[in-house]
Structure 1
């Protein structure tokens, strides 16, 4: 669409002059018309450039203030007045009011007839739009051909920059440069554009609109709905006719398809790597897949020969039960891409895999990093900055063989799931070997209680004082390696009393408690009965 700024820059219309200083010359002119009546507001279309001699306001220019208010609400593009015919000049009060609204008042030259002006303006608008549409379609056709021919994003952006003769930067959802055009030959120029994008555009993104009178313009590239790319166009005020915003918008559509296509290709390649990782975590020592006989195969999936492997399970914390499936898919893909970029900048041998859930990732370290805990904490902070969400990590033990990666993965996954099930967020926990009590908790009670009853008999869950004393003496005696003296000192009874009670226990249990196998069963049964609540 034609703006006042564009129209007034055309030599043929250069005699048209804005009368008020703060006129918004970026207003779009959709059509032009003539009026000499003050009640035109109900009959004029939006974006009309309305021309008049102002005869009705010859003796009371204050009426122009009311007219401007009414026309600005339509809203029309602006008002063209041939002042030389009846008004000679516009009162300062009228111009000041127009400035408050940034409403353009344009002076029509004395030698211009209004009918002729209308005809030429409409002809220019029509011709201009046709030319712009033609070139926009040409840009789209060129870009589509490059897409079909599988050209890289870098080549497509550079081709567009040459065609438009404007510097371009494609910024990814992490505010990092994905592609910069050939014009950015120095770091300072690039940093200046990125500062504008991060410090000025992003904070006011919802209010900002593209303007042809500014140095920079930023366009969303909606390859991903919730995490768009952005195209920064530099020196857009110098865009040459017949190129227009429409041409840039058409090119952006093609760039979106190219990015989307690349996203799907990378996802397919990653699915292949994920399948290989699944086969690795199921590997046993007898598995036919081994690095020694298939080095190139492992190298293809970024596995290296090492004596150090450590698996981390990284998960995106759930902050709400209501999550959009499209958003989850996009977040998963971008989180994967983000993790890969930042971790490989630390160490190229680090690999990342998915394993079937859209909120978890397996990260494999193949070299030892002393300060990996602080680095993971740094990742947690950076992730919140980009995604406004948080990450948690479960960490497995280090292993020395590829065949042990599966057990390391299960340790990391168990650690993650344990803390996740407790409702924790943004945690960073190492695998801890379970103690005997925790292992017993994993067994069903209907298996544990019969074992205790069978092994301890009447001493399993005693209710009278005598049996309780016998059970406690037996427990202390066995904990102290059958030492009668230590036992008597610990429970404050005579040695003979200890001997008597132990003999009594052996009668009840009908076994020799010093027998290694029986001793283990009895000690385990005592432990279970004391630590596990069966109520």
Structure 2
């Protein structure tokens, strides 16, 4: 594309004109503008220009004429046309030699041919050519957009792009993973993937390229003695990917090529919008399916198995259920790495899900993950005979990577073995959730609790449901609980730590960071409020049992409310 000198010289107005130098270039040199110029040239002439002159400033001055021609050569003009017959009659051979060596076309125009007519005809030719370019660019735009609308991929866009610009091209996502390319070496991408910081390569004389809006997004890099141009694919003010182009010179980036690249960026942005929407829909479908699987009593029948298969899940495998509680020590640091901007998941959840998926691939096991009310629910493929080994190795990897991404995060886990019941996923989720809550109540955050290891707690939880039993608990702890609430103290916790250290005052004081006398004062208050003696084995047992039953009752009430 683009108007070449021969097409201009074929205009009728040049029938009486003669090419004096640079004739070999008439099929290559392009015309993009026309102007009338006399000395001095300075910076008034730009690249690929058709320059008309009378030479009035160089009359009878060969040195001035030489300087004038050299300045036009320096500007990058394609044609220098002299109107001979008044100020200049014969063009010196020295001038023609300079022009020929510089590939500047010298044209001799009879004096009687008017510059106004020449300018009008050339501008008409340029306008017609630009119109052809615009029409061709519009055809390309439609082809590129149709690639997206007809469910074709970025590779198809790359093929259409190469067909019209004849330059090696590559399309990547935001992580520089190649999604489509044509005759583009992967080695040219390696410096970018390593974090290359390059610089623009600007041809200051290439005014046409500079004038195009896309130019201001264009970055150029020297890679392996090649010039690689990069354009960001932007959607909603976020970079979704990149368009790479290999060109040997900036002259290859014509107005038409820049137009096509602009249309390609639009098509690619549209493609990523569509891809993100599909991905988001898929994520939501999967998320809802797994959540229903965990929280609803769904029988494992052929219908459920078929639905799971459509989402890429295999329910016929054995799955251990892991329910995790997300807790932070100090302030929450949000996950700041690149992520799909259109995702409905919070950045924190995206980070956790990403690491769970990564660990699943690392251990070559299937995973299904969703989130519910601050908890992460994961079904992890693991055989029933050694599920704990796999679960612990899996969680070790997840927590190690999460601790580096989310500063201050503390994960607590409840773990339930693969279930053989009719509603296996609901059953294992309920067990894992109970194990998680008991573990946090018993030992605080940062624990892993196996459902099988909560037999005593579950027995006590059942025991606590008996009205007569709970009346005894209330009678025993009522004054103590009221005192804690009024005085904003924590005598119940003090007793728990005291019991944990089997009545050892020194160890309890160190654990609570209290002076020995302060601890003894608290223990005396506990005895007074409960009317029990901590030195009496039966009284101490009753108080410990009452505290555990009360806490389990509170836990069971919260579970029922949820």
Query: What does 1:17-28 correspond to in 2, within 5 Å?
Result: none
- 3-state SS, counterpart of residue 189 of structure 2: helix
User: Which residue of structure 2 aligns with residue 509 of structure 1?
Assistant: 531
Shift of 1:270: 1.6
Shift of 1:220: 2.5
User: Which residue of structure 2 aligns with residue 318 of structure 1?
Assistant: 334
Shift of 1:373: 3.6
**Residue of structure 2 aligned with 1:31, choices 25, 30, 33:** 33
Q: Deviations over 1:430-466 (max 9, x none)?
A: 4357xxxxxxxxxxxxxx99965736999xx9xxxxx
Q: Deviations over 1:144-194 (max 9, x none)?
A: 33433333444444344445555432201111112334x5xxxxx642232
- Which whole-Å CA distance do the structure 2 matches of 1:193 and 1:303 have between them? 40
User: Which residue of structure 2 aligns with residue 271 of structure 1?
Assistant: 284
Q: Which runs of 5+ in 2 are unaligned?
A: 11-18, 23-27, 201-215, 383-389, 419-424, 450-472, 487-494, 505-523, 551-562
User: Which residue of structure 1 aligns with residue 106 of structure 2?
Assistant: 109
Q: Deviations over 1:337-386 (max 9, x none)?
A: 976985665346234446589xx9766543437366456655777x7xxx
**Residue of structure 2 aligned with 1:296, choices 306, 315, 319:** 306
**Would the aligned equivalents of 2:240 and 2:272 in 1 still touch at CA under 8 Å?**
no
**Would the aligned equivalents of 1:352 and 1:364 in 2 still touch at CA under 8 Å?**
yes
Quick check: 1:195 aligned with 2:190? yes
Q: Deviations over 1:278-326 (max 9, x none)?
A: 223434xxx2344788333344442543243435678993389xxxx97
Query: What does 1:164-183 correspond to in 2, within 5 Å?
Result: 164-181=165-182, 183=183
Size of the aligned set, in residue pairs, is: 415
Q: Deviations over 1:99-120 (max 9, x none)?
A: xxxxxx9844153679487567
User: Which residue of structure 1 aligns with residue 542 of structure 2?
Assistant: 520
**Would the aligned equivalents of 2:31 and 2:49 in 1 still touch at CA under 8 Å?**
yes
User: Which residue of structure 2 aligns with residue 147 of structure 1?
Assistant: 148
Shift of 1:132: 1.7
Pick closer, same or farther for the CA change 1:411–1:179 going to 2, 3 Å: farther
What TM-score do the two structures reach when normalised by structure 1? 0.54
User: Which residue of structure 2 aligns with residue 405 of structure 1?
Assistant: 429
Pick closer, same or farther for the CA change 1:273–1:409 going to 2, 3 Å: farther
Quick check: 1:262 aligned with 2:262? no
- Which whole-Å CA distance do the structure 1 matches of 2:346 and 2:547 have between them? 50
- Which whole-Å CA distance do the structure 2 matches of 1:259 and 1:243 have between them? 24
* Farther-moved stretch of structure 1 (362-371 vs 216-225): 362-371
Pick closer, same or farther for the CA change 1:242–1:522 going to 2, 3 Å: closer
User: Which residue of structure 2 aligns with residue 308 of structure 1?
Assistant: 320
User: Which residue of structure 1 aligns with residue 479 of structure 2?
Assistant: 454
- 3-state SS, counterpart of residue 132 of structure 2: helix
**Residue of structure 2 aligned with 1:226, choices 238, 243, 257:** 238
**Residue of structure 1 aligned with 2:260, choices 242, 247, 263:** 247
* Farther-moved stretch of structure 1 (510-519 vs 156-165): 510-519
- 3-state SS, counterpart of residue 290 of structure 2: helix
User: Which residue of structure 1 aligns with residue 447 of structure 2?
Assistant: 431
Pick closer, same or farther for the CA change 1:328–1:77 going to 2, 3 Å: farther
- 3-state SS, counterpart of residue 151 of structure 2: coil
- Which whole-Å CA distance do the structure 1 matches of 2:247 and 2:7 have between them? 19
Q: What is the alpha-carbon root mean square deviation over aligned residues?
A: 6.4
Pick closer, same or farther for the CA change 1:168–1:514 going to 2, 3 Å: same
- Which whole-Å CA distance do the structure 2 matches of 1:174 and 1:64 have between them? 53
**Would the aligned equivalents of 1:131 and 1:242 in 2 still touch at CA under 8 Å?**
no
- Which whole-Å CA distance do the structure 1 matches of 2:190 and 2:341 have between them? 31
- Which whole-Å CA distance do the structure 2 matches of 1:54 and 1:415 have between them? 96
- Which whole-Å CA distance do the structure 2 matches of 1:414 and 1:82 have between them? 93
